[in-house]
Amino acid sequence: MTTPLNERRIANAIRVLAMDAVQQANSGHPGAPMGMADIADVVWREFLNHNPTNPQWANRDRFVLSNGHGSMLQYALLHLTGYDLSIEDLKQFRQLHSKTPGHPELGYAPGIETTTGPLGQGIANAVGFALAEKTLAAQFNKDGLNVVDHFTYCFLGDGCLMEGISHEACSLAGTLGLGKLVVYYDDNGISIDGEVEGWFSDDTEQRFNAYGWQVLRVDGHDADAIRQATVEAKAESNKPTIIICKTIIGLGSPNKQGKEDCHGAPLGKDEIALTREALGWKEDAFVIPEDVYAAWDAKAKGQTSEAAWNELFAQYQAKYPTEATELLRRINGDLPADFAAKADAFIAETNAKAETIATRKASQNTLQAFGPLLPELLGGSADLAGSNLTLWKGCQGVQENPAGNYVYYGVREFGMTAIANGVALHGGFVPYVATFLMFMEYARNAVRMSALMKQRVIHVYTHDSIGLGEDGPTHQPIEQIASLRGTPNLNTWRPCDTVEAAVSWKSALERKDGPTALIFSRQNLPFQARNEAQIQNVAKGGYVLAEEKGELKAIIIATGSEVSLAMEAYAQLEGVRVVSMPCAEEFMKQDAAYREAVLPAHIRARVAVEAAHVDYWWKFVGLDGKVIGMTTYGESAPAKDLFQFFGITTEAVVAAVKELTA
């Protein structure tokens, strides 16, 4: 090792803060921060272009700690370099309402770019950051005025590489040639269960060579080697780079370094005392000498970097005022000022056409109308574009044109969704991604992370029920809609026709505080006639589609393809109203007076009908009501036969209403 002692002392500040915070919390992972401290020292002090006084500076480099259990590494770095994260905040590590939760969480501490709890999703987010940077740069940079020009640095560990999502994301990153993605692999050979060679014997170098990455190997405790490798990584513009850093977990701990003992538990007071002695660190817990703080402080450097970029952007603004205004709009996440009016005009036009088509086709028609209005759309599908109908005439693949607006993700549902989260977090784009509803299950945890981080990601799911027919139970979703509806912060829309499909897209695009799932049918669905007031009420998530004839005695609630069954039943009944509820989450956000007007509390005779799991609907119909839907998995047969076999029919709805009102 050639690391000078003074540089090692600078890195040791991370080690002592990590072990002290974990010890005080009596919970956490000191090993990774202690093992990666030398890598972090080089990357953060010499290469990372950031401004601690303005964590949201648009052209900052992005840093992702994919092995998020080592969160004290990132918290120590943020504190030392000058972010608004005090030593008192570090002392509150893992405590209620602190800025320093157990894993990095978006929105808690400044400088945290993404929530990295589930292993592997951080590296996928990093791929999304790098994809967004490359595409945004291709769309806006001109004549040497590179106003979008930054790197994405990612730290990861064995766990991230063992998770299958890392294959999906890293494979695509190589294919897309994301040259500004630099990954540091903490190759310490240890996980919770011990030495990983018994269950993780991959040749990581060959694996990433096969992906088309540049692969470098270094001693992770040799600052000169890390520095040189980072220079090489940044010089390679056509390939992402992984730097395999051989490290010792818990470096500095005389009795626990190199062992699983320091992976996920405090070192203990006695071992911390020995570690301080071994490191030559004389200061008490949470005390950092002023000369070490001075060596870490990045505020002046960051302000200088941002000022230089501001000057560059001013030149860009003077030469390309239209593009500059557009870039700022997109970075701020604002839709064009005329979007709402134009979207409403399209919805009115759609209503006038009264088409009977599949809602997946209605979705594509909406994209065709909205796409030219929204250059920030960055679409994609998991090898199902022709089935999801996510392509519109203005789509260009980023593989062929870096300034394009569509990503062919391949069969990578999980990776696709987590990458889209990274794209949304980066800013400048509204990503939408698509697959069959059944295969939301592959992406489930990334959908959860969209919701947890409240990101504007649009999840498009087609082939929404047993209505897809012959492919059978492996492809027929049953419990998936209930799972989505049970996810906090997620809006789930299941429209019944062209108008509801268009409104669902408008709602998803205008929503800035969370993701949306749009669920569309494979089969054609009949158009439902509406007046102007009803069209306006679609956006409220639930509304009266058909008024009762005579005194109100019963309510039928339906979504998607089953709205037509409800309307057929309505034609045979008296005193019944039909409520279409394409988005229950939006309906529940309405004021009590509106909800009561749609679903009067005194009407106990309620029937819900949906070709999905019945359990979700009991809260709307009550224990006195009835739910017509699925309680088993599907079968392979034509759709018409399946609806008859499972009893999701007009006759069943009529019978249920009559029984409740007898």
- Tell me if the domain spanning 539-659 has CATH number 3.40.1350.10: no
Q: Is 478 annotated as a binding residue?
A: no
> DSSP state, 1?
-
Given a cut of 70, whether residue 351 has pLDDT beyond it is yes
Q: Which two tokens stand for residue 270?
A: 């006695």
Q: In the chain, what are the domain boundaries?
A: 3-301, 336-523, 539-659
Given a cut of 50, whether residue 592 has pLDDT beyond it is yes
pLDDT tens digits, residue range 399-411?
999 999 999 999 9
CA nearest 456: which of 481, 483, 429? Answer: 429
Whether 563 and 496 have beta carbons less than 8 Å apart is answered as yes
Q: Is 29 annotated as a binding residue?
A: yes
Q: Is 475 annotated as a binding residue?
A: yes
Q: Which residue has the tokens 């766990």?
A: 159
Q: Which residue has the tokens 């429209």?
A: 495
- How many residues are there in the chain? 662
pLDDT tens digits, residue range 278-313?
999 999 999 999 999 999 999 999 999 999 999 999
Report the pLDDT value the prediction gives residue 4, as an integer from 0 to 100.
56
Task: State the Cα–Cα distance between residues 316 and 233, nearest whole angstrom.
Answer: 28
Report the pLDDT value the prediction gives residue 1, as an integer from 0 to 100.
47
Task: State the Cα–Cα distance between residues 247 and 460, nearest whole angstrom.
Answer: 42
Q: Provide, rounded to the nearest whole percent, the portion of the chain with pLDDT above 70.
A: 99
Q: Which DSSP string corresponds to 328-380? A: HHHHHTPPPTTHHHHHHHHHHHHHHH---EEHHHHHHHHHHHHGGG-TTEEEE
Q: Is 118 annotated as a binding residue?
A: yes
- pTM for the predicted model, two decimal places: 0.98
Task: State the Cα–Cα distance between residues 296 and 80, nearest whole angstrom.
Answer: 6
Cβ–Cβ contacts within 10 Å for residue 645, how many?
Answer: 13
Residue 455: pLDDT band (50, 70, 90) is: very high
Integer angstrom CA distances of residue 250 from 15, 71, 103, 122, 260: 8, 14, 18, 22, 9
Whether 588 and 457 have beta carbons less than 8 Å apart is answered as no
Given a cut of 80, whether residue 2 has pLDDT beyond it is no
Mean pLDDT of 261-287: 97
Cβ–Cβ contacts within 10 Å for residue 165, how many?
Answer: 27
> DSSP state, 111?
T
Sign of the torsion angle spanned by Cα atoms 103, 107, 108, 112: positive
Whether 557 and 629 have beta carbons less than 8 Å apart is answered as no
Per residue, the 3-state secondary structure of 132-144, as one string, reads: HHHHHHHHHCECC
Q: Is 439 annotated as a binding residue?
A: yes
Q: Is 253 annotated as a binding residue?
A: no
Sign of the torsion angle spanned by Cα atoms 75, 77, 82, 83: negative
Report the pLDDT value the prediction gives residue 6, as an integer from 0 to 100.
87
Q: Is 642 annotated as a binding residue?
A: no
> DSSP state, 47?
I
SS3 280: coil
pLDDT tens digits, residue range 125-153?
999 999 999 999 999 999 999 999 999 99
Q: Is 69 annotated as a binding residue?
A: yes
**One fold for both 3-301 and 539-659?**
yes
Q: Which two tokens stand for residue 285?
A: 């817990």
Residue 5: pLDDT band (50, 70, 90) is: low
Q: Which residue has the tokens 């906090």?
A: 488
Q: Which two tokens stand for residue 193?
A: 């269960």
pLDDT tens digits, residue range 549-586?
999 999 999 999 999 999 999 999 999 999 999 999 99
The residues, ordered by sequence, that sit 6+ positions from 492 with a Cβ below 8 Å of its Cβ are 481, 484, 485, 516, 517, 519, 583, 584, 585
- Kindly provide the b/e burial profile for residues 613-642, where b requires at least 16 CB atoms within 10 angstroms of the residue's own CB: bbebbeebbeeebbbbbbeeebeeeebeeb
pLDDT tens digits, residue range 57-82?
999 999 999 999 999 999 999 999 99
Distance of CA 297 to the CA centre of its chain: 32
Whether 218 and 245 have beta carbons less than 8 Å apart is answered as yes
Whether 470 and 506 have beta carbons less than 8 Å apart is answered as no
3-state helix, strand, coil in the chain (%, to 5): 50, 15, 40
Q: Dump strand ranges (E) for 143-280.
A: 152-157, 181-187, 190-191, 194-195, 214-219, 241-246
Q: Which two tokens stand for residue 277?
A: 């002695």
Given a cut of 60, whether residue 3 has pLDDT beyond it is no
The residues, ordered by sequence, that sit 6+ positions from 207 with a Cβ below 8 Å of its Cβ are none
Catalytic residue among 113, 271, 413, 548: 413
Task: State the Cα–Cα distance between residues 19 and 544, nearest whole angstrom.
Answer: 60
Mean residue pLDDT of the chain comes to: 97
Distance of CA 117 to the CA centre of its chain: 12
Residue 196: pLDDT band (50, 70, 90) is: very high
Please state the CATH superfamily assignment of the domain spanning residues 3-301 in this structure. Thiamin diphosphate (ThDP)-binding fold, Pyr/PP domains (3.40.50.970)
- Tell me if the domain spanning 336-523 has CATH number 3.40.50.970: yes
Q: Which two tokens stand for residue 80?
A: 């030392």
Report the pLDDT value the prediction gives residue 107, as an integer from 0 to 100.
98
Q: Is 463 annotated as a binding residue?
A: yes
Strand partners, 377: 430
CA nearest 80: which of 6, 153, 14? Answer: 14
Q: Is 190 annotated as a binding residue?
A: yes
Active-site annotation holds for 413: yes
Mean pLDDT of 441-458: 98
Per residue, the 3-state secondary structure of 459-481, as one string, reads: EEEECCCHHHCCCCCCCCCCCHH
Mean pLDDT of 113-131: 98
SS3 59: coil
Task: State the Cα–Cα distance between residues 321 and 310, nearest whole angstrom.
Answer: 14
Q: Is 167 annotated as a binding residue?
A: no
Q: Which two tokens stand for residue 571?
A: 């034609």
Strand partners, 557: 579, 608
Report the pLDDT value the prediction gives residue 518, as an integer from 0 to 100.
98
Q: Is 93 annotated as a binding residue?
A: no
Q: Provide, rounded to the nearest whole percent, the portion of the chain with pLDDT above 90.
A: 99
CA nearest 477: which of 417, 446, 520, 508? Answer: 520
Q: Is 150 annotated as a binding residue?
A: no
Q: Which amino acid is at 622?
A: G
